[in-house]
Amino acid sequence: MTAVDIQPSSPARHLVPGAASLHVTDARVHLGGVEILHGVDLQVPTGRTLALLGPSGCGKTTLLRAVAGLQHLSTGRIHVGEDDITDVPAERRNVGMVFQDGALFPHMTVAANVGFGLDRAARRGPAVDEALEMVGLAGFGPRMPSTLSGGQQQRVALARALVAQPRVLLLDEPFSSLDAGLRGQIRADVARLLTELEITAVVVTHDQEEAFLLGHEVAVMIAGRIHQQAHPADIYAAPATREVAEFLGDANLVAGHASGTAAETMLGAVPLAADATGAMDVLVRPEHLRMTPGGPMTVRAVEYYGHDAITELTGPAGTLRVRTMSLPPYRAGDPVALTYDGPPTAAYRADSTS
């Protein structure tokens, strides 16, 4: 399939005029006697996209369903703009949702799928055609879902959510069923569309690259708790907890002893972003390590990806990963020395989990 760029046209830009902020406060959900969400707080400003990032089973979809009105909160409140929608039925929340598999009706045309939630008069108007044009599917209305590619079906699902002019749009792993090449194109198009339309959106994903591309901010959820919500660059550079550091990309944690804004480690002195004292585990990203021939570390393996390479090392500093922008001149078994060459970094107490 040749990807079709999503290009919002002038009329389509008016499909979502009522975007509003989203605030979730102290949300808790119990299922089968087990607490799934543990006092979740979440804020999404009007017109911004939040990527809700976390491993499978951490509660991301449960939180999304609670916002949509498909899951009852045990405690907590949900506000869209100034309105408390906690106890409002799902069909009256004006919250749109795009499910992981699109959830199209196979016996309906594309146009009928998009207009399904509209009243009869609205279905006869231009809204359905405008929504399809907005997602790059102008003229696809008479087609059946079975004749579309996976990417096209997901665009139809997005058009169906947008045509109802939702105040908040929720997307649950919307690209996970697509192949890698198509997924990259579709998510870039969707990111551009959400920004162009200035709609308030929450996108659930377990993929860091996807979260960083789509989210103006990223909220990292682990085991039913939001550990950190911030700009993607801030989360990557300064993870609030050890769990966030380990979940986001390759995280080398090197033992060290901190005194003020530096820690002595097997790599030498490493600058710290905040004052610390005592035994610490220091975050060292792979791209901030430099290798030189000879030394106490031994190359275990080299992974070459074309645009960069990862070298895995073992030795007194533990097992570490080093990222280089070209294939390094080292092979398995070679001895190397490591030094730190990066900005002030985060550190976590050696005797704690945060």
List pLDDT tens digits, range 88-136: 999 899 999 888 776 788 999 999 999 887 877 777 778 888 889 888 8
Q: Is the pLDDT of residue 11 over 50?
A: no
Give a yes or no: residue 68 inside a domain: yes
Same domain, 194 and 327: no
Same domain, 26 and 162: yes
Same domain, 297 and 333: yes
Give a yes or no: residue 7 inside a domain: no
Same domain, 30 and 161: yes
Same domain, 149 and 257: no
pLDDT of residue 352: 65
Q: Is the pLDDT of residue 152 over 90?
A: no
288: containing domain: 250-349
- The band of 65, judged by pLDDT with boundaries at 50, 70 and 90, is very high
Give a yes or no: residue 119 inside a domain: yes
Q: Which of 272, 252, 251, 244 is nearest to 318 (CA)?
A: 252
Does this model's pTM top 0.85? My answer is yes
- In the chain, how many domains are there? 2
Dist. CA 331–CA 233, nearest whole Å? 32
Share of the chain above pLDDT 90, in %: 67
Q: Is the pLDDT of residue 180 over 80?
A: no
Structure tokens at 234: 């801030």
Give a yes or no: residue 143 inside a domain: yes
Same domain, 137 and 233: yes
Give a yes or no: residue 5 inside a domain: no
Q: Which of 198, 174, 170, 202 is nearest to 188 (CA)?
A: 174
List pLDDT tens digits, range 271-293: 999 999 999 999 999 999 999 99
List pLDDT tens digits, range 238-263: 999 999 998 987 889 999 999 999 99
Same domain, 61 and 106: yes
Dist. CA 193–CA 98, nearest whole Å? 15
Q: Is the pLDDT of residue 37 over 50?
A: yes
Q: Which of 221, 186, 216 is nearest to 201 (CA)?
A: 216
